[in-house]
Amino acid sequence: MGKGITYTAKTPDADGLIHYTDAENAVWRELITRQKQVLPGRACRAFVEALDVLGLPEDRVPQCPEVSAVLRECTGWGVKPVPALIPLDEFFSLLANRMFPAASFIRAPEELDYLEEPDIFHEIFGHTPHLTDSRFAAFTEAYGKTGLAASDADREMLARLYWFTAEFGLIETDEGVRSYGAGICSSPGETRYAVESDEPERVPFDPIEALRTPYRIDIYQPLYFVLESFDQLFDLARSDLPAMIREARRLGDRPPKFPPLPEAKSA
C-alpha cells in the first residue's frame, strides 16, 4: 500500500450483508459525493446514466445483494464480495459466470485520493455501472472465459486489454472525448487529467495495440485508447481473442511510454 496501511476483507453475515462502521460509511459518503461533482462533462453520458439506474446509496456503503438485484434485471450479472486480491483462476471464473468480484473493504481516510489495491468504492462505483449495458456485460463475460482458458503468459497480455478498456478507457461522444474506465471514473484526479490534460496521448482503440502496450499502475496514464462506441467492445466479445494475443506477441511489445519503477533502497 502507498502509505503502509493494511486492509482486512470484510466478511458477509448469513444474509450476505456486510456490517460497515459509521467511519467506513462516512468515507463512502465523501467519495461518492466528491466524485459525482467531478464526473459531469468528463465521464460519458452512458456511465452517468448507469449510475442513476443503479441508484447507489450516498449515505452508506452499498451491499452487494442490492447491487446484484439491479444488475440481474439489466443483464443477468451479479456482484460477489471478495478479498482485495484473489487468484486469477477465481477472478476469470467469476467473470465467465457473470459475477463481478468486488473487494469488500473500503479505503482509510488517509488514502482517499489514491489506493493501489481496489476497494469497494472502485469496484462498485467504477465497474458495476457499465454492467447494466449488455454490450459491456458481453465483453466482460467473454474476457473472463478467455482468461480462464489462457496460459499465464496470455493472461499477462489480457491484463493489458482490460487495463486499457474497463479500467482506463476513453470513448468518443457527441460532446467530445469522455471517460468510461473504472480507474478513471473513480478517481477525481485522473478524471480531470484523462479528459482535459494536454500531457497524455489519446489514440483510437485497437485491441492488438492494447495487447502490445505496457502500463504502470502507480501513475497517471501516458496513453489512453479511445473507443468509437461500446459496440466495439461487443464486437470484441465475439472475436477470436486468443488469435489476437498470438498476433500481438508476434509483433512484440511497444516501448514503454513511462520511466521504469524506481529501485527499492536496500536497508
User: Which positions are annotated as active-site residues?
Assistant: 122, 127, 167, 186
Would you say 144 and 138 are in contact if contact means Cβ atoms under 8 Å apart? no
Looking at this protein, which amino acid is placed at residue 48?
A: V
Residue 176 DSSP SS3? strand
Q: What residue spans of 7-105 are helical by DSSP H?
A: 22-38, 45-54, 64-74, 88-96
Beta strands, E only, 56-159:
78-82, 99-103
Pairing type for strands 170-173 and 176-179 reads antiparallel
Q: Say which residue the cell 484526479 belongs to.
A: 189
Cβ atoms within 10 A of the Cβ of 256, count? 13
Q: How far is CA 186 from the centre of its chain?
A: 9
CA distance 195 to 210: 19
Q: Say which residue the cell 439491479 belongs to.
A: 70
